[in-house]
Amino acid sequence: MRNRFRRVMIAVGTAAVVASLWLLATSTAGQAQAAGQVPSPGQFPTYRAPRLQGTQNPDLNGIWQSMTSANWDIQDHETQPGLHPELEGTYDAQPGGQGIVEGNEIPYQPWALAKKKENLAKRAVVDVLNDEKRYDTGDPEITCYMPGVPRATYMPFPFQIVQGTSPYILMSYEYASTIRTIRMNFKEEAPTDSWMGWSRGRWEGDTLVVDVSGFNSYTWFDRAGNFHSDALHVVERYTPVSPYHIMYEATIEDPKVFTRPWKISLPLYRRMDKGVQLIEYKCVPYTEELMFGKLRKVPRR
């Protein structure tokens, strides 16, 4: 009995010491951050990325992926049931997560905030046969449209950066086999609006800066209904901070929808799996019944 009591007391004492050390470490880290002693995300001055052969630019080649639930909601969010928990249980449940929006605030104009709430309520409504309202409701992801920028970066799928010595950098996304070309040091404006926009890049030290414009108004930022207009302008920053991490930031501006520019940021992780490669994910066949099933003479059960 005494030995058992002693073991219990030792365990309690150990737990108390661990808790005290954790609180001390947390407090010290917080004080150091406040004092400017700890680098904030994206500020790692001691790291210098390997150079791309034949250039003075960092080599960003590789397969990268975010580790965030921002595709559900780019702001802080609680766990929520899916659209049909009575059929799917937890399969379509929304995980809780920390947001990627600086300050956790999206500066919507009043009308746009109401539209965002409407989008959330109608995120699974599809009306592709009505040309006038084809894109007015429903998350474009549900019908396998290209995800747009910056959403393609933080969807739960990897993407590949292909960089050489040509004046182009290619980004290939696993979702919907989407591709995107970054034109380095180009001056030309977008020839037309598109789902992924018109990307023009430049180097600022070790940071790849990509200026993206020429969007259509159809993509969303997430499944929560956050949206933009065709006046969207995104400036992305890709900064390598270790051999295995890129710090990603995007400044978002849209005077038709928001009252001011705002920013998102998150780390991207290099995929280190043996033999890692992008897997084909052509999702169009999965949407046909949803989009066109209503045309069946005899509806499918």
Provide the pLDDT for residue 45: 65
In a domain, 295, yes or no: no
Look at residue 55 and tell me if it is in a domain: no
150 and 212 in a single domain? The answer is: yes
Do 80 and 168 sit in the same domain of this protein?
yes
For position 134, what pLDDT does the model report? 62
Q: Are residues 212 and 281 in the same domain?
A: yes
- Sequence-distant (6+) residues with CB within 8 A of 138 are 122, 123, 124, 125, 126, 127
How many folded domains does the chain comprise? 2
Do 148 and 237 lie in a common domain? yes
H/E run at residue 159:
strand 159-163
Q: Per the domain annotation, does 299 fall within a domain?
A: no
How crowded is the C-beta side of 277, counted as CA atoms within 13 Å? 3
Q: Are residues 261 and 173 in the same domain?
A: yes
Q: Which element (helix H / strand E) includes 4?
A: helix 2-34
pLDDT in tens, the chain (301 residues): 445 444 444 444 444 433 443 333 334 334 433 433 434 544 566 899 999 999 999 999 999 999 999 999 999 999 989 888 888 899 888 889 999 999 999 999 999 999 999 999 999 888 766 665 566 678 999 989 999 999 999 999 999 999 999 999 999 999 999 999 999 999 999 999 999 999 999 999 999 999 999 999 999 999 999 999 999 999 999 999 999 999 999 999 999 999 999 999 999 999 999 999 999 999 988 888 888 777 777 766 5
Residue 54 belongs to a domain: no
- In a domain? residue 52: no
Residues 126 and 219 placed together within one structural domain of the fold: yes
**What is the model's pLDDT at position 290?**
81
Q: What is the pLDDT of residue 170?
A: 97
Task: Assess if residue 123 is contained within a domain.
Answer: yes
Whether residues 119 and 29 share a domain: the answer is no
pLDDT value of residue 51: 96
Same domain assignment for residues 173 and 267: yes
Claim to verify: residue 167 and residue 284 sit in the same structural domain: yes
Q: What is the pLDDT of residue 287?
A: 85
Within-domain flag for 235: yes
Residue identified by tokens 């001390």 is 24
Q: What is the pLDDT of residue 127?
A: 76
- The per-residue pLDDT for 243 is 95
CA neighbor of 249 nearest in space, from 13, 91, 50, 42:
42
Residue 56: inside a domain: no
Give me the domain span that covers residue 187.
62-290
Same domain, 20 and 72: no
One domain, residues 81 and 218: yes
CA distances from 159 to 5, 54, 125 (A): 55, 24, 28
Same domain, 126 and 258: yes
| pTM value surpassing 0.95 | no
